Structure 1
């Protein structure tokens, strides 16, 4: 993970109010004496005085996370937060067991990700943005008031460094095993009266980390990523204007998955290599943020554009010859384009005894995708593979358009989404020690989609899919929905601590399946997945004193219509079966548990942090789905370990007047978790313990830093996501990685 990492604050596990980041994410956290004050609510409040749960990683914590490769690595620092890395690169966060694990970019994410206040609407955008970060804030529980749709599990906010007079300039070069090369730099400062600018850039290159025992080494994944962010700030007379632009490029190769039928050693895969494709991914965006005082009120506006172009793919079956038959080989590719325009405006006022906020938001998204699956080597002109994809004949239907065998499947889909919202978020002191926080949001969505699924015969003839003879796989549909969401909390000041009781709800949008369109039902109401809702009740206590920082919370979440990828077998023309899957809705689920964070500074320079959560997240299924209800009822939600914990230690000491030594270590533990809602032991990952460490020496004069780091020091090989196809396939974790870097601070 890329971060400037040169902030002075230490890692903090703490709480701030739900939705706080959306009210002023860029104002940040500051240390006032023994308390950390969050000004993200436009009302400076100590962490102990506000209701709701969040984890905060500041600059120093991110600095110690050197060697991270993507957003998924954040989960190693955050108890109760899991990351499913679908297709090897697409990150879907799970918070307290809530959130669909899915590899389709069309699928909404339950833990909304925001980058500098701008919503990242799909699960493919996150990892590219992790450089020159100032901090990361993760809110737990539904965030329906200020975040609106697709924050039913919580929200993750990535906040980059703002331009300022101090600059925090640096250049860093690092090298590690697997020929890893890291280059990072940032330059900024004052450029005029009340005007500041900043330029940050990053580059990382890495050779394959998994060993391919059956073909080209590059099937083990190659990393080649570049990013640049430019920002400019004008701050005069209490008003400010901040403009940001970014561009990231990924031209590496996705790692191939591993089929569960294989007997391989740790960190090995088996691929003949015909599914290997160079990625051609570009992510870009621009935003303008303005703050204007209007007497006793303050007006805030954020106007943004986000977009990407993505082309990538991999070996789908995860083995050189499924069941010993090379003709069962399957490869896939995605070609995607996405654009999003958004605007949010907020009017707020602080007064003695509270604050009020009113806001409106609007966004327009345009998404298109071509999904291709084939066997062997693909002819880019005819889209015919060198062998026939085993699933293609089953989509031909009762009247074949050609006597030749069906060879390839292609699905095109386009979707537009208009979202409008109005919301209010308020804090009132009801009595000297009693505070009420209450908010509400009304959201309207209009989603339209259309597409078609075709099969390509070996002679090049193309025809619409018609599996089961239910009609050609071509059509469209419209989803219109209006939702009311909100939150309410009471908090009581106990002096050295604060107690709170809250209730909040949120929802995640329904939509269209981006997988293979089998027949006309794919675009009918029966083929869509519905919205899910979450209502959470939470009670907590938190405080600090005598070098201790602590928080303890208990929660209960009522999860309705959980979105989940359901795997169902269907018959092929030769009488065999293949697994087909689509996003659907389960009946309900419950998630409840207790969690706590403890921070201790026993002596100056030594920070210890411990976080843990016990979370029981179980499906409640009465209606038949995918064959029967019993297959899912009582099963754990995916990526929801019953217990997880994180321990961190950071020690800093002066070895001379101008030299500082820092040593840190991080341990993360997860009990067994399941990769999909079927809850099968063979589709689960056993207990995982990972360790990371870093040591650095900073010479303040002349401003040079030296560091060494290591990740996954236990060399654990574990699944980071999975899917059913021919057998079961999993993407694997990175092996042990380590490296060293030199930094220049100026």
Structure 2
């Protein structure tokens, strides 16, 4: 296996960033990602870096300048995504400090500041909510939805939820596609790409000005690529080649200045072929694996979002955001990861989400601003008969585990936030949210020939809040400090023949944060610096049953985890030069917690709060939080060169994410350690008339790194990719 640590290089780059007197951070970070795709909306006005553009965030349901908003955020435009090779959600970890995304194919573990999702099941919600055009998306499945024709991506760090949508303990990601433009003319682009691994991609978008009050936008994306892996068998199914097809239609009706209705519908057919994996700590290269079971990986899903805005005569805005999402995910895998064993896994899961959010938003003028709202969501998983199966080997009921049934979840919430300008420089903001959640299992399990009925439900409720004090020192210096809390509901454990197990409890996070945002050198340089401290209670984790550890159960840690850290961002533009950088440092300590690793044989009693400590009942207090690397860092540099009426823009990006633990047991022998990631990317843009031609390369050192660990298997991140992309703009 070729693993390049790059630790010294990362430390020196990090120290170089910290020695800057402004010690700050960018609003538009870099990504040194793999799989550089043509999946965003390029702009013909390419990066003449003479000044910095105003960056806005819509986190609190109104457009506000990032530099004067009390929130730690990274904001990327469609051009930024394209320039930094961000094609899917897991590559966002290379664009923001303190973020990790571990992709194991059918799902992801997205964590911000060590808080997000650590267990891989439908009962465990995600602590980092991803929104698409205003609605929360599937919480774990359908992870490979591509970015194409994107207006912006906002990565919000820390608890979110007192302003709308779903409550989030770790953070939120707001993805917005380009809207139709009324009276915007027939404009758009067509982009084609060819690269190694026989990669051929095509995308485009067009704005259709139908009338003075009505417009449409149509966008499509397609990508074919051969497999990264060399898989020897015998196996049946695909070798993990990519066949991705996506389309979006947007309709905007605006009959008056006070009313608008925006409807968007997406459809995605993403055939990854397979999610190849082999056992953790295998000595071979992670792209050379063996398998003797059927392999499959197919996601098909759609989303429809209707957003209605109406502004009353007094300036108050009413907004209704309705969402409908439905998808199916089909997966077949070799569960032991070799041609020697006979363990197989397959599932076919349907997920349907209905959501509705209502907002009343005050005008921006005046000393008092406010947002009131309500949210409702129903999310139902359906497991058809005979489709969810673990076989050792398949076809023998005495060695199979099968599951069928439904898991519906409901969430309702009311929320509000009020801001008052105490003086010209001081503003106080107070927000609150009350949430109620219910999860239900109507499930039948056949465990090694033993039928088990799981028909139970659990309810959870919570009040979260935020109090923030903002101080505008001057036009270019902004300070903030706040205390905020977040909440993630608990869930149900599936029975394993020991009776119906207790549900696991909800998680809560109390966060303290202070930050400084500044502009320097006539606004050619912008910085953000912040420190934070999180009190993380009831972390949801799977361990061995306390009284019978042969089986695993999900429960909560009895004492809180302490997580604190420092983040810095900067963005600078001087003439034709620009530079950006991100730095995150994080420390975590799990509270006293006794547990038995369910992967190891044991029959000894082990109480989570008191032990007793033994060879198998371990005190995990003081261990690091899962998916919480101590250092995350990325930086980038570009220059625009003028050649007559043309421009040539070379750029280089680098990202480092330190090693992290996949479980609290920190057992390297069982593969719990995910190594560091050090990715180097570069590209050259040539702008000529209506054409933009790009030579791109990602993961140029071809580091073979592990992208995720799940069920005793390791999943490789993307290898080196390179190619050429040509885009034509028309209007």
Whether 1:733 and 2:712 are equivalent positions in the alignment is no
Q: Per the alignment, do residues 283 and 616 of structure 1 end up closer, same or farther by CA in structure 2, a change over 3 Å counting?
A: same
Q: Is the 8 A contact 1:113 1:126 kept in 2?
A: no
**Which residues of 2 match residues 46-195 of structure 1 at below 5 A?**
46-66=65-85, 68-86=86-104, 88-147=105-164, 149-164=166-181, 165=184, 168-195=187-214
Aligned partner of 1:260 among 280, 298, 301: 280
Whether 1:519 and 2:497 are equivalent positions in the alignment is yes
Deviation of 1:227 (Å): 0.6
Say which SS state the counterpart of residue 621 (structure 1) adopts.
coil
- Which position in structure 1 is the counterpart of 2:15? none
- Which position in structure 1 is the counterpart of 2:432? 440
CA distance in structure 2 between the aligned counterparts of 1:606 and 1:453, rounded to whole angstroms? 61
Q: Per the alignment, do residues 213 and 39 of structure 1 end up closer, same or farther by CA in structure 2, a change over 3 Å counting?
A: closer
Say which SS state the counterpart of residue 192 (structure 1) adopts.
coil
Whether 1:341 and 2:332 are equivalent positions in the alignment is no
Deviation of 1:474 (Å): 1.0
Deviation of 1:107 (Å): 2.5
Q: Is the 8 A contact 1:219 1:271 kept in 2?
A: no
Q: Is the 8 A contact 1:107 1:122 kept in 2?
A: no
- Which position in structure 2 is the counterpart of 1:553? 530
**Which residues of 2 match residues 618-697 of structure 1 at below 5 A?**
618-624=589-595, 626=597, 627=606, 630-657=618-645, 659-682=646-669, 683-697=672-686
Q: Per the alignment, do residues 60 and 280 of structure 1 end up closer, same or farther by CA in structure 2, a change over 3 Å counting?
A: closer
Paired residues in the alignment total 662
CA distance in structure 1 between the aligned counterparts of 2:681 and 2:210, rounded to whole angstroms? 40
CA distance in structure 1 between the aligned counterparts of 2:62 and 2:265, rounded to whole angstroms? 28
Deviation of 1:520 (Å): 5.3
CA distance in structure 1 between the aligned counterparts of 2:224 and 2:75, rounded to whole angstroms? 29
**Which residues of 2 match residues 319-718 of structure 1 at below 5 A?**
319-321=338-340, 326=341, 329-350=342-363, 351-369=365-383, 370-375=387-392, 384=395, 406-455=398-447, 463-465=449-451, 473-495=452-474, 496-513=476-493, 517-519=495-497, 521=499, 524-526=500-502, 528-546=503-521, 547-566=524-543, 581-587=552-558, 588-601=560-573, 603-624=574-595, 626=597, 627=606, 630-657=618-645, 659-682=646-669, 683-700=672-689, 703-718=690-705
Q: Is the 8 A contact 1:150 1:509 kept in 2?
A: no
Aligned partner of 2:267 among 247, 266, 272: 247
CA distance in structure 1 between the aligned counterparts of 2:46 and 2:552, rounded to whole angstroms? 46
Q: CA offsets, 1:393-440, max 9 Å, x none? A: xxxxxxxxxxxxx13221124111221111111221011210111111
CA distance in structure 1 between the aligned counterparts of 2:729 and 2:221, rounded to whole angstroms? 16
CA distance in structure 2 between the aligned counterparts of 1:70 and 1:228, rounded to whole angstroms? 15
Q: Is the 8 A contact 2:675 2:706 kept in 1?
A: no
Q: Is the 8 A contact 2:304 2:324 kept in 1?
A: yes
CA distance in structure 2 between the aligned counterparts of 1:9 and 1:241, rounded to whole angstroms? 31
Q: Per the alignment, do residues 70 and 38 of structure 1 end up closer, same or farther by CA in structure 2, a change over 3 Å counting?
A: closer
Q: Per the alignment, do residues 557 and 148 of structure 1 end up closer, same or farther by CA in structure 2, a change over 3 Å counting?
A: farther
CA distance in structure 1 between the aligned counterparts of 2:62 and 2:281, rounded to whole angstroms? 57
Q: Per the alignment, do residues 594 and 355 of structure 1 end up closer, same or farther by CA in structure 2, a change over 3 Å counting?
A: same
Deviation of 1:7 (Å): 7.0
Higher relative CO (Cα under 8 Å, sequence separation at least 6) belongs to 2
Q: Is the 8 A contact 2:658 2:677 kept in 1?
A: yes
* Structure 2 residue ranges without an equivalent (≥5): 1-36, 598-605, 612-616
- Between 550-559 and 166-175, report the one with greater CA deviation: 166-175
- Between 550-559 and 178-187, report the one with greater CA deviation: 178-187
CA distance in structure 2 between the aligned counterparts of 1:105 and 1:33, rounded to whole angstroms? 43
CA distance in structure 2 between the aligned counterparts of 1:565 and 1:545, rounded to whole angstroms? 48
Deviation of 1:120 (Å): 1.1
Q: Per the alignment, do residues 621 and 197 of structure 1 end up closer, same or farther by CA in structure 2, a change over 3 Å counting?
A: same
Q: Is the 8 A contact 2:674 2:709 kept in 1?
A: no
* Structure 1 residue ranges without an equivalent (≥5): 13-30, 379-383, 393-405, 457-462, 466-472, 572-577
Q: Is the 8 A contact 1:181 1:204 kept in 2?
A: yes
Q: Per the alignment, do residues 341 and 217 of structure 1 end up closer, same or farther by CA in structure 2, a change over 3 Å counting?
A: closer
Q: CA offsets, 1:489-535, max 9 Å, x none? A: 00111112111111111111212347xx42253xx352x32211111
CA distance in structure 2 between the aligned counterparts of 1:481 and 1:172, rounded to whole angstroms? 48
Deviation of 1:566 (Å): 3.3
Whether 1:295 and 2:313 are equivalent positions in the alignment is yes
CA distance in structure 1 between the aligned counterparts of 2:619 and 2:346, rounded to whole angstroms? 31
CA distance in structure 2 between the aligned counterparts of 1:11 and 1:674, rounded to whole angstroms? 41
CA distance in structure 1 between the aligned counterparts of 2:224 and 2:118, rounded to whole angstroms? 28
CA distance in structure 1 between the aligned counterparts of 2:78 and 2:272, rounded to whole angstroms? 28
Q: Is the 8 A contact 2:218 2:250 kept in 1?
A: yes
CA distance in structure 2 between the aligned counterparts of 1:518 and 1:220, rounded to whole angstroms? 34
CA distance in structure 2 between the aligned counterparts of 1:215 and 1:697, rounded to whole angstroms? 46
CA distance in structure 2 between the aligned counterparts of 1:345 and 1:146, rounded to whole angstroms? 11
Poorly superposed stretches of 4+, deviation over 6 Å: 9-12, 31-34, 567-571
Q: Is the 8 A contact 2:74 2:96 kept in 1?
A: yes
Say which SS state the counterpart of residue 94 (structure 2) adopts.
helix
